[in-house]
Structure 1
């Protein structure tokens, strides 16, 4: 199985999340890696030590980010991108993949932030 990043609606809200996701510019998409990356990459201590608590939580659960957690998740992906050398040193050569996955997530988050009162982000 694969992990994906999606725009999801808040409870009792009517919004076309597929239409929102269609706004993601190419080459970005909803891919976020293999299921095994929950532990092999996102669940590594280095990710947590960088302060990326939401991303680290993928080790054991899905991420559902709404409201202020959207900004927090965005910040965590920027932290990852700023620390690729540290991650590579401690986890291995995932630089290209992290740039790919973080880019996909950041594009989805950017769109979700424009409709913050209606939607959030799921990484599952």
Structure 2
């Protein structure tokens, strides 16, 4: 089972539509076990992460006005991949592929165990 990130639009009656993943983006957030193994780990919590640790046992829903906080947390976690990988035993580049500049434009990210969601995708 895999863990994925979806963007939804809520209607006035609470119903929601799941939007398609934009071309060039990846909705993978790792294996289901990553809820506790990576995102709920002490390493991620020790960095002051608020959102990702919620995945350890809960469904994560982020309101539009809270997206800047989530994006800041993604940047924080990406900046500390070596620490997270060392503490969890997960290859840091399995958590997040190198930036496009390091891979080469148009190159595919390495096929690894999972990925930190790339919230900002190249359009």
Task: Settle same-fold status: TM greater than 0.5.
Answer: yes
Q: CA RMSD in A?
A: 2.7
- Higher relative contact order structure (alpha carbons within 8 Å, sequence separation ≥ 6): 1
Distance 1:90 1:16 in 2: 37
In the TM superposition, what whole-angstrom CA distance separates every residue of 1:28-53 from its partner, at most 9, and x where no partner exists? 32222111111111110110111111
Structure 2 residue runs of 5 or longer lacking an equivalent are: 98-114
Q: Counterpart of 2:23 in 1: which secondary structure?
A: coil
The structure with the largest helix share of the pair is 1
Aligned to 1:6: 6
The structure with the largest strand share of the pair is 1
Structure 1 residue runs of 5 or longer lacking an equivalent are: 112-124
Aligned to 1:36: 33
Alpha carbons of structure 1 residues 3 and 15: separation in structure 2 relative to 1, 3 Å: closer
Q: Which one has the largest radius of gyration?
A: 2
How far 1:82 moved relative to its partner?
0.6
Contact 2:8 2:17 in 1 (8 A): no
Question: How many equivalent residue pairs?
Answer: 105
TM-score scaled to structure 2, two decimals?
A: 0.71
Q: Counterpart of 2:94 in 1: which secondary structure?
A: helix
